[in-house]
Amino acid sequence: MIEKLKKLGLTGYEAQAYIALLELGDSEADEIASKARIPMGRIYSVLSNLEEYRLARAQETRPRRYACVEPSTALQRLMKNKHEELERTGAEMEALANDLVSELSGVKTTTSSKPFWTVAIGDKSEELLQECILGARKEILFFMASRTASERLKKKLNIEKYPGIISSIHEALNNGTDIKVILNKDVDFSVVEDFSAIKRLLEHMGNEFNCRLAATPATPFHIIDRESVLLQMLNPLAPDELFAVVNIRDTKLAEELRKKFFAIWERAEAYPENNNSSCQKKM
């Protein structure tokens, strides 16, 4: 019981005093101290705290006598106090994080001449992709011109499987990141255009967000800020499923793939005009 009460916000002495009061019914401070095994030099401050938390009441006599509030009421008050404390802490942490975002973003990172790569498998691949999207500062290029890649994307969007990634793309767009996408021209994405998250994307069409259509049977890849490349690796046992994502920080590779991306982009078709949105053909 002591440990559980401590988790709800009481100190060890406060928990011991409350339980002693519960057993004694009502008592003077010295009896409570003896029962709870609390030093007499501490008992009055402990009982004062219990009164402040509204877990105990005192009879104004000489000497004072104390009685505890019944358990269900006491626990409700403890939980309320704990919730309020967590809300305050959460607000403080959020304000601190907001301050740190701008401060840490201002730290100048030294660009390494050596490539650095990491691999995310299964569910972790979506987490890595979100991380890279949110870290973008200027530009994101999504290349999914193969039919397999576009069909897989359409399937996931159709069951609204990518809320985290779509939300990250919205945040990147709102931060001014320029995003271009090449999809397969033989895959019909009109069936997902009525989804609210996709509609919000289409509102940016022709501005920060542009999409074109091609038919290139190549491995899907994404380029972040001309610095980082994300390669999608398919499951060899189930080619329509994503197995892993490899993130390679290599400016030379990123620049080479970027040139190939725009070579295909120049020849690609504009995404069909829909819902009063259109893709502009200029970069």
CATH number, domain with residue 191? 3.30.870.10
User: Is the per-residue pLDDT at 282 higher than 60?
Assistant: no
Residues 68 and 123 in one domain: no
Pick the more confident residue, 267 or 110: 267
**Among 49, 74, 99, which residue terminates a domain?**
74
Asked whether residue 88 is domain-assigned, the answer is no
Residues 233 and 147 in one domain: yes
Domain count, the chain: 2
Token readout for 232 is: 């999608």
**For the residues 143-162, what does the mean pLDDT come to?**
81
Query: pLDDT tens for residues 37-67?
Result: 999 999 999 999 999 999 999 988 888 899 9
Asked whether residue 260 is domain-assigned, the answer is yes
CATH number, domain with residue 40? 1.10.10.10
DSSP codes, 60-110: -SSS-EEEEPPHHHHHHHHHHHHHHHHHHHHHHHHHHHHHHHHHHHTSPPP
In contact, 189 and 154? CB cutoff 8 Å:
yes
pTM: 0.63
Residues 265 and 153 in one domain: yes
Q: Which domain holds residue 238?
A: 116-270
User: Is the per-residue pLDDT at 71 higher than 80?
Assistant: yes
Query: pLDDT tens for residues 111-139?
Result: 666 788 899 887 788 888 888 998 898 99
Distance CA(22)–CA(16), nearest Å, equals 10
Token readout for 146 is: 């193969």
